[in-house]
Amino acid sequence: MYRIVEKRALNPTVILMTVEAPLVARRCEPGQFVIVRADENGERIPLTVADFDRNRGTVTIIFQLVGASTLALSRLNEGESVHDFAGPLGRPTHTEGLKKVAVVGGGVGCAIAYPVAKKLHEQGTVVHSVTGFRTKDLVILEDEFAAVSDKVCRVSDDGSWGEKGLVTDALKQLIESGEKYDEVITIGPLIMMKFVCRLTKEYGIKTVASMNPIMIDGTGMCGGCRLTVGGQTRFACVDGPEFDGHEIDFDEAMARGGAYKAFERHAYDEACALFREVK
C-alpha cells in the first residue's frame, strides 16, 4: 500500500496527489509514468509522473477526472493509501546535450510538461515554456513553470489568462522573433500537438510529442495505444511515450483515442450515481 501524503485540487477537474513510493521515486525520470489502482477491485490506469523527490521517497501524479477510475482515485484522502503504484514505466525524456528548448504544454498536459522543463532547467538548458488553457479557471502549475523557465508565454482560448490565442500562435511569434531552438517538446491534447508539429515542420525544428493521451493498459498488451510513426506500428506505453512529432499519424491516433470516450463518460456517470446513493 502506498500512503498519500498530499492531495489538492488544482482546478475543478484536476487533482494533484503525492504518494509515498520510495522504490519508484529512486528510479523516476521525466517523461515516465506509473500504473495506479485506487483499490483492490480498481482498474489499472497509467498516469504520468508529474514530479518526484528521491530524498523523501515520494512521487507526484496529476490527473483529470474523466472516468470511473480517476473518480475513485480522487475520493482517496491524505493519510489513506493507493492499492497499487507500479513503475516507473516508459522511456524517459531525452534531454542531454540540448542548449535551448521550447516546451509547449496544453491543459492537463502541462502536468507532464512541467517535470521535463524542470530537468532541462536544472541541467542548464535555456527553457522557453508555452502553456495554454481554455480559460483562467483551468490553469495549473503557473508558478512552477515560472520557476524553471527563462521565458514563459501564457495563452488562453478566451483571453482570460495571458494572451488570447493558441499555443501555436505564441510559438510562431517566438520563432519569427528570431529564437533558435534545438528542439521543441510538446505535450497536450492530440489536436494541439498535431498543429504544433505541423508548425515546427515548416521551420525545420526537431519536435518531440508525448503520446500519453492514448495510453490505456500501459504494458503494450491491450493494443489501445497503437500508433503509426514513420509508417511503422509503435506502442506509446513501451516504445514511447515520446516520438518524433513530424512522423506521427495524428489523425489515426485521434480516431483511436476517441473510441473510448463514450465508454469513459458512461462509467463516470454510473460511478457518480452510485456515490450519491451511498451518501
**How buried is residue 134: exposed, middle or buried, by Cβ count under 10 Å (0-12/13-18/19+)?**
middle
Measured CA to CA, the distance from residue 65 to residue 74 in angstroms comes to 8
What pTM, to 2 d.p., does this model score? 0.85
Measured CA to CA, the distance from residue 235 to residue 246 in angstroms comes to 17
Structure confidence at residue 270 (pLDDT): 53
Structure confidence at residue 42 (pLDDT): 84
pLDDT tens, residue by residue, 8-18? 999 888 999 99
pLDDT tens, residue by residue, 174-196? 999 999 999 999 999 999 999 99
Question: Which residues of the chain form beta strands (DSSP E)?
Answer: 2-11, 14-20, 33-37, 45-53, 58-64, 81-82, 84-89, 100-106, 126-133, 151-156, 163-164, 183-187, 207-210, 226-229, 232-235, 242-244
> Which residue bears the cell 496527489?
17
Cell matching residue 140: 495549473
Which domains does the chain carry?
2-89 (2.40.30.10), 100-210 (3.40.50.80)
The DSSP secondary-structure symbol of 109 reads G
